[in-house]
Amino acid sequence: MPDYVFPPPSLTCLPVAGGGAFPVRRIFCVGQNYSDHAREMGSDPTRQPPFFFTKPADAVTCGPKVPYPPMTERLDYEGELVVGIGEAGADIAVETARRYIFGYTVGCDLTRRDLQADAKKAGRPWDMAKGFDCSAAVGVLHPATEIGHPDKGSIRLLVNGEEKQKGDLSQMTWSVPEIIAHLSRYVRLAPGDLIFTGTPAGVGPLAAGDRVEVIVEAVTAHKFTIG
Ligand code: MN
């Protein structure tokens, strides 16, 4: 073992339904993958090639409390289906992409929307708008061997019990296999990678004390409170 000058960080893990822990390697996110959300963000809703951004692995938070982050006055929710990769691969074909999937969960791509708007205006990177501490709230991962590959069915996000987002997984501009095929041309995917697959319309702000629920039929709902 190397003579570490301080203790190395512990791995970020997701609980797996049925037991076990999924060690998180990287977090990739797809931008504007539902046309109604692209429209609400003022973008071209026609089928453009997908684009990606990232969050650090240790931005993952699975707990019931998520802190309100600093440096923002506009924290937005984005409810999303999240894919966990279980096999390494590059230049993956759409037809074989599902083989690389370990499982699925739901998550919230928390966004400092005011910083993102400033970055967009200035042509600057989004990192501080998207990749802050505890910005990736995610639930229990369900193995695809148990639940199959959800490609339709509702995706909903509730704040304090009120439905704020409602879409259907079949409305994704780019399907999960297509996302994996595209992303794996840019990077070699590896076990532990998470992919946030985009959010339907209805994004909006959160305040301290808000209770958030992200619900996709095939997987356990993820609930947390902004603390
Ligand atoms: Mn998102």
Question: How many other CB atoms sit within 10 Å of the CB of residue 128?
Answer: 16
What are the boundaries of each domain within the chain?
Answer: 13-226
Q: How far is the CA of 188 from the centre of ligand 1 (A)?
A: 21
Q: Annotate 201-218 with DSSP letters as a single string.
A: S--EEE-TT-EEEEEETT
The C-alpha atoms of residue 106 and residue 216 are separated, in whole angstroms, by 7
Per-residue pLDDT of the chain (227 residues; tens, 9 = 90+): 899 999 999 999 999 999 999 999 999 999 989 988 888 888 887 788 999 999 999 999 999 999 999 999 999 999 999 999 999 999 999 999 999 999 999 999 999 999 999 999 999 999 999 999 999 999 999 999 999 999 999 999 999 999 999 999 999 999 999 999 999 999 999 999 999 999 999 999 999 999 999 999 999 999 999 98
| Residues in CB range of 2: below 8 A, 6 or more apart | none
Q: Tens digits of per-residue pLDDT, 2-16? A: 999 999 999 999 999
The C-alpha atoms of residue 73 and residue 17 are separated, in whole angstroms, by 35
Q: How far is the CA of 194 from the centre of ligand 1 (A)?
A: 13
Q: How far is the CA of 197 from the centre of ligand 1 (A)?
A: 7
CATH topology of domain 13-226: Fumarylacetoacetate hydrolase; domain 2 (3.90.850)
Structure tokens at 40: 């609400």
Q: How far is the CA of 156 from the centre of ligand 1 (A)?
A: 14
Q: How far is the CA of 78 from the centre of ligand 1 (A)?
A: 6
The C-alpha atoms of residue 203 and residue 130 are separated, in whole angstroms, by 14
Q: Tens digits of per-residue pLDDT, 57-95? A: 999 999 999 999 999 999 999 999 999 999 999 999 999
CB 27 within 8 A of CB 54: yes
